[in-house]
Amino acid sequence: MSLLPEYEDAEVSTKSLYEISLKHQIEKLLFFREKFVTSLNRPRYTNYVEPDCEYFFDSVINNSAALAEYYLPYIIYSIIGTTLTPPQRPWFSKFKNKCGEDGYQKAKSALFSKYEIGILIKSTSIDNEIYLKKCHDLFDKSIETIIEGKYDIVFTLNNYIKHNSMTFCYAPLSNTSDDKCKSNLFLSFTKDQCFMLEDSILKTLISSDLNETNNTGEIIDINGMKFTNKGSIGA
């Protein structure tokens, strides 16, 4: 049920459309994830996975990135609700870029204005300011996961994979503490292509002079983020 009162003239058909679309995207992502995990853990006698495992991994990253484009409309039309008529399609990529240009609060205010979020037409018993604040709070809580920065790695990887012939077939095997075999999938990046990584932590990591770190297990601090030097693994 949306935050918007039922008696307001909400676009019910649009709400249902985005709910169905998001459900389909999540199910598709889970499908590819299961296929990827199964293919990664398939018995093998080499440090390299089969091509289908690479394809499934590519699909997981691509669908994870695409999920954000379906989630923002879901927040607007289903979680919160709007009286906007006729409905318009929101674009997460545009909202994200706006956040980068103007800051989150200004981008959010522009989004609320464009899609008429927090506006009551028929209600006489609900304080408009209180309702608007509830909309802002609910939007902040709902969007936090994909806007706070932790999800950026998914967008970065997806963009990089789309424009580069990235190698991610190398997955050396190791034994866990409970004597089980584990596949460790590695992603390969090159300095000459790191411009595709924008201003991400991956770009900073690849551009850093890691030759200064010679001790395996040593903690590397890059812009306040901690990384562990694993040394040379396999061949």
Percent of the chain with pLDDT over 90: 43
Rg (CA), the chain: 22
More confident call, 213 vs 71: 71
Domain carrying residue 27: 12-157
**69 alpha carbon, distance to own chain's centre:** 10
Confidence of residue 9 (pLDDT cuts 50, 70, 90): low
Are 122 and 51 part of one and the same domain? yes
The total number of structural domains that make up the chain: 2
Residue 181: which H helix or E strand, with range?
strand 181-183
Are 140 and 206 part of one and the same domain? no
Residue 228: which H helix or E strand, with range?
strand 225-228
* Helix/strand/coil for 207: helix
Q: Pick the range with the lowest mean pLDDT from 90-99, 143-152, 183-192, 206-215.
A: 206-215
pTM: 0.81
Has residue 163 been placed in a domain? no
Has residue 131 been placed in a domain? yes
Identify the pLDDT of residue 138.
Answer: 96
Instruction: Say how far apart CA 73 and CA 22 lie, in whole Å.
Output: 9
Residues in the chain: 235
Has residue 93 been placed in a domain? yes
At position 11, the amino acid (one-letter code) is E
Q: Which of 172, 203, 209 is nearest to 190 (CA)?
A: 203
Sequence-ordered list of residues with C-beta below 8 angstroms from that of 78, at least 6 positions apart, any chain: 2, 15, 18, 19
Q: To the nearest whole number, what is the mean pLDDT of the chain? A: 85
Are 227 and 132 part of one and the same domain? no
Which tens digit of pLDDT belongs to each residue from 89-135?
A: 999 999 999 998 999 999 999 999 999 999 888 877 788 899 999 99
The answer on pLDDT for 164 being more than 90 is no
Confidence of residue 12 (pLDDT cuts 50, 70, 90): low
